[in-house]
Structure 1
Amino acid sequence: MKLQIFDIIVIGLYFACMLGIGYFVSKRNKDTEDYFLGGRNIPGWAIGVSFVGTMISSVTFLALPADAFKTAWIRFLPNFAFPVVTLIAAYVFLPFFRRGTISSAYQYLGLRFGSSIATYGACVYIGAQVVRSSSIVYLMALLMSTMTGLSIDASIVVSGAITAFYTVKGGFEAVVWTDVIQTIILVMGALIIIGMVILSLPGGMTQIITEGWAAGKFAFNDLDIKTGELASMEHGFSLSEKTTVMLLLVGFTQFLTGKLNQETVQRWCSTSSIREARKSMWILGGSSLPIWGAFMFMGTSLWVYYQHFPDTVSAGVLDGTLKSESILPHFIVTEMPVGLAGLVIAGALAAAMSTLSSSINSTSMVIVNDIYQPLIKKGVKKEGDLRVGLGAALTVSLLMIGGAFVFLYSETKTLTDFTIIITAVFGGGIAGIFLFGMFTRRGDARAVVVGIVLTLSFTLYALLMQFNVVTRIFDPYYTAILGNIIMILVSYVASMVFPANTRDLTNLTVWDQTQDGIS
């Protein structure tokens, strides 16, 4: 699959626009307040759109339509938990990070439990983001290589370097404004594809809905491994199999964890007031389900389209001989008019670049605020901090690009196993630490350390179970839920054994908030 020259020009113009924004915004960066928080004066609506752009990663752009094409809407089910999490985040979590000069999620952990727990949380975040960013660059390079004819090596360098340039050069403000443009482009891309399918079918939208409904493509069904047919899912509570209730709990846990990381906290702290920060959450909460739904509907639309215009690729995806993620790139290159194809590919690249730029900037902020300043070089001037921030962002970018090459030249099975291990270990109970700190008055670093040790031990067991080394006693899909529950319960019990010294917890728990922090 190769794009036409005009499509490549469209993609080139998109890249040039991103670079231009980074260069223009960089002139306003005088210190770390500007570089990492945009001077704490970014409009809430822009932060909200930026949230949306980061949320719709390349996984959303390619994987959600692919899953709806191959199966049904079962993967959409966890997203129904998102509006609830958004409300909790806006009115419970947000006040903890809008007080004083806090600009890092891990600064809160430091105030609540001490520097050792803050450092642990920061290191976990840094490691997870480097691995996550590397995998996104790799996937983005595969897409670019498939559609432009560039080698994967060159695609990694080009896509990674362009994202790194405008992020390192422009800082957080560049991240936000490029996110705004990228979000518009990627949503336009989804709507263009859906529109193309509607116009290609004699019955249009009605035909898509009627045929998709009759085939069960809009239901919360999944493929039965034995029969290869769509089958309904159980609805009750279970730890041994996937059910609708459990998928909702998985979504709730996943999204709750996402609202307690640095990418979210950084955005909240970059607005001028708590009102503006909450405005961003209203935009995010109100737009997420419709956008996710549009990408799922795109996949169903493509299924209906290829029922009437089948080819070898669509047949290969449906019979399992080809990866389902190949269906959308195939449709773009073979069916879309010149120019529009380039715009849609720019949307797919935008989805990845939005996530990457946010990850680079937030990770470098954690390196400066939570590692460098408190542990390595205390009391440096702001100008020195800015130079360190630029260096940290550049370092993260290089690690990201280097990690993508590791993914490229490693065996597929090794990559899959490595990603599973890193995700599980790095995600082990961090949200649980925050929740324990916010919702109880108990505990100090000693109690949390006990919780960390047992949670990581549980995670290790889950990983061994995943690879059939030990007896399977629950579905590994629920590792994050159980891990965070273990973190909270063990830390609470340990706090009874190691009672914390009496100290001021003002604005550190939900029970000790001052009125100015919750307004």
Structure 2
Amino acid sequence: MNNLRVPDLVIIGLYLLAMIGVGIYFSRKNDNAEQYSRASGLIPGWAIGLSIYATFLSSNTFLGVPGKAFGSNWNAFVFSISMPFAAWIATNYFIPFYRSTGEISAYTHLEHRFGPWARTYAVTCFLLTQLARIGSIFYGIALTLQALTGFSMDMIMLITGICIIIYTVLGGIEAVIWTEVVQGIIKTVGALLIIGLIIYDMPGGVAKIIDIGQADGKFSLGGFNLNFTQSTFWVVFLYGFFINLSNFGVDQNYVQRYHTAASLPQAAKSLWLCVWLYVPASLLFLVIGSSLFAYYQVHPEFIQAVKLQVAAANLPPTATATQLASAAMRLSPADYGDKVMPHFIVTKIPVGFVGLIVSAILSAAMSTISSGMNASATVFTVDIYQRYFKSGMTSRQTLRLLHLATVCFGLLGMGTGIAMIGVKSVLDTWWELSGIFASGMLGLFLLGVISRQTRSHEALTATIIGICVIVWMTFSSRLPEEYASLRSLLHKSMIIVIGTLTIFLTGLLLTKLRKGTSAYSPAEPVNQPAH
């Protein structure tokens, strides 16, 4: 059933047309690959900062963070607390490094340092991470719009995906950045509107929300004990630090933006602007989740519809009403947390405001997807096609390939999103996949930058060992009961921590052992970049 009224549809339609219009406007300037990928390095720092902020503030944040707060507590906020620590390292070491090299790809340095295999491995990790990110965001937006429109989730992904592909292909990185500036503002306004409407309709207002939240432990950041088998404060802090270091330091989405700034100080300021905007914004979404929990505690009759919807999705169509009611009763808040905010939007937000909020959710999805598509296309073009297939491409040929690659990654992302239909928590799924794919990339990059004496074969050995550890931590929980002793006891958020440290420390150890067995070991010659 379509729950959107004509004013809401008009607002959403105008928003989508405006985004396509932006792409058409900037398409007039994209007559070469340099402009498409770097915007000729003329974007002001404040715009880049808002763009990075909008990329972080994806639908995973817009829907997943309130869902986590509804189902558990504010443990996810520890991820945001870790951001300034990772940003300090990035602005002092990574951004100056990338600006000094002038290379548009974040991974070209790895070939210079260790050879082609290192660059290819990092690119593979990055592209898998992007597909996971794009897919989880497509799934998040489809989750909301399905409740509003009644359309199938795959149809929603197809329609929104086509709009995103059009303006990304036409406008390039400049269109992505300037639309993200607008989208970042729309998202924040949408979140403030939601929390205002919850408080307005809540008997007892803010005081009642705080009372219920305190009684149910909704404001806890997680336990502070050194227990790495559960999602404690320290587990999420370590995960957040390493994943944010990966984002700020080796993720093409961010590295590409550093090159669009007019100067090094502007690039550094843009990252800090993102951090100081995102930390309070993420707290706002946690407040929304806790407020929704309190709201549905006061109105338990409303939550029953959500529970029945989730239960029905996990039962065969022939299930009886008694079976459906019994399955709904067994669900915990963590099982349906992601579905609560879409339900609130459908049932409680006035006509007109729904269109604004859906536009905000769309912008949350579109900004991250478009930047991911653009960065993935750039990496594929520079690090794969030009490296292994055709190096002497003209600017026009390169631009044509960037367009084609952008379309392909948009379609692959949609397919990934469709494959995710039915997952329990979009935020948990994204955190787990990003930790798996990003850990090897970060560990290898740190080894190459910090340990200047590590040789290619030592880095390769360390990477292989690291991959084995990552695979073991990812899949050991599925081992049969007779092999239970071989299962990893660590929380899955620790995969990126252990995987990164394994590659980095193993590389250091192998280097030290080699130096210790030889009185003299000449420095390994630096590999020359491919031409």
Change (3 A) 1:94 1:284: same
Identity of aligned residues (%): 33
Q: Is the 8 A contact 1:443 1:498 kept in 2?
A: no
**Superposition deviation, residue 486 in structure 1:** 0.5
Q: Could you tell me which amino acid in structure 1 is paired with residue 261 of structure 2?
A: T
Q: What's the offset of the Cα at 1:404?
A: 3.5
* Counterpart position of 1:308: 298
1:445 aligns with: 456
Q: 2:478 aligns with which of 450, 467, 483?
A: 467
Q: Deviations over 1:208-265 (max 9, x none)?
A: 33443344322225xxxxxxxxxxx2x2323333432232112111211212211111
**TM-score, scaled relative to structure 1:** 0.88
Distance 1:127 1:42 in 2: 28
- Structure 2 distance, partners of 1:497, 1:206, is 62
- In the TM superposition, 1:221-240 aligns within 5 A as 221=222, 233=223, 235-240=224-229
CA distance in 2, matches of 1:365, 1:123: 13
Greater Cα offset, 399-408 or 364-373: 399-408
Q: Deviations over 1:100-155 (max 9, x none)?
A: 42111101212222222112211221233224323322332232222123333321
- RMSD (Å) for aligned C-alpha atoms: 2.6
TM-aligned CA distance change 1:242 to 1:403, over 3 Å: closer
Find out whether 1:276 has 2:276 as its counterpart.
no
Paired letter, 1:287: L
| Offset from partner CA, 1:176-233 (integer Å, 9 cap, x none) | 1111111111111110011112222354334433443344322225xxxxxxxxxxx2
Give the structure 2 partner of residue 63 of structure 1.
64
User: Quick check: 139-148 or 3-12, which moved more?
Assistant: 139-148
Q: Which residue of 2 aligns with 1:430?
A: 441
Residues 423 and 295 of structure 1: is their aligned pair in 2 closer, same or farther, counting only changes over 3 Å? closer
CA–CA distance in 1 between the matches of 2:101 and 2:234? 39
Shift of the alpha carbon at 1:73?
A: 1.1
One of 345, 351, 357 as aligned partner of 2:370? 357
Give the 3 Å change call, closer, same or farther, for CA 212–134 of structure 1 in structure 2: closer
Please point out which of 493, 511, 516 is paired with 2:509: 493
Deviation per CA, 1:10-36, whole angstroms, max 9, x where unpaired?
111111111110110111112111101
Identify which range, 142-151 or 203-212, moves more after superposition: 203-212
Q: Distance in 1 between matches of 2:197 and 2:448?
A: 51
3-state SS of 1:99 partner: helix
- Per the alignment, residue 375 of structure 1 pairs with 388
Distance of 1:204 and 1:364 partners within structure 2: 48
Q: Closer, same or farther in 2 for the Cα pair 1:285/1:132, shift >3 Å?
A: closer
Aligned to 1:255: 244
CA distance, structure 2, for counterparts of residue 62 and residue 172 of structure 1: 26
- Give 1:29-44 correspondences, 5 Å limit: 29-44=30-45
Paired position in structure 2 for 1:502 = 523
Tell me if the contact between 2:71 and 2:337 (Cα under 8 Å) persists in the aligned partners: yes
Q: CA deviation at 1:169?
A: 1.2
**After alignment, is 82-91 or 135-144 more displaced?**
135-144
Q: Which moved more, 1:272-281 or 1:203-212?
A: 203-212
Superposed, which structure 2 residues align to 1:202-217 within 5 Å? 202-217=203-218
**Distance in 2 between the 1:497 and 1:216 partners?**
50
The CA deviation at 1:302 is 1.6
Structure 2 residue aligned with 1:95 = 96
* Structure 2 unaligned residues grouped into runs of 5+: 308-328, 516-520, 527-531
- The answer to whether the Cα contact below 8 Å between 1:128 and 1:426 also exists between their aligned partners in 2 is yes
Q: Residue 218 of structure 1 aligns to a residue in which SS?
A: coil
Number of aligned residues: 490
1:454 maps to what in 2? 465
Distance in 1 of aligned mates of 2:428 and 2:65 = 22
**Which residue in the other structure is 2:84 paired with?**
83
The whole-number CA distance in structure 2 between the counterparts of 1:59 and 1:393 is: 22
| One of 337, 343, 350 as aligned partner of 1:337 | 350
- Tell me the distance in 2 between the aligned counterparts of 1:412 and 1:85: 30
- The amino acid that maps onto 1:478 is M
Which string of whole-angstrom CA distances, capped at 9 and with x for unpartnered residues, describes residues 375-420 of structure 1? Answer: 2111222122111111111221222233344445xx869x999989
CA contact (8 A) 1:116 1:445 kept: no
The code of the aligned residue for 2:82 comes to A
Output the CA distance in 2 between the equivalents of 1:44 and 1:417: 32
The letter for the 1-side match of 2:462 is G
8 Å Cα contact 1:142/1:155 also seen in 2: no
1:320 correspondence with 2:320: no
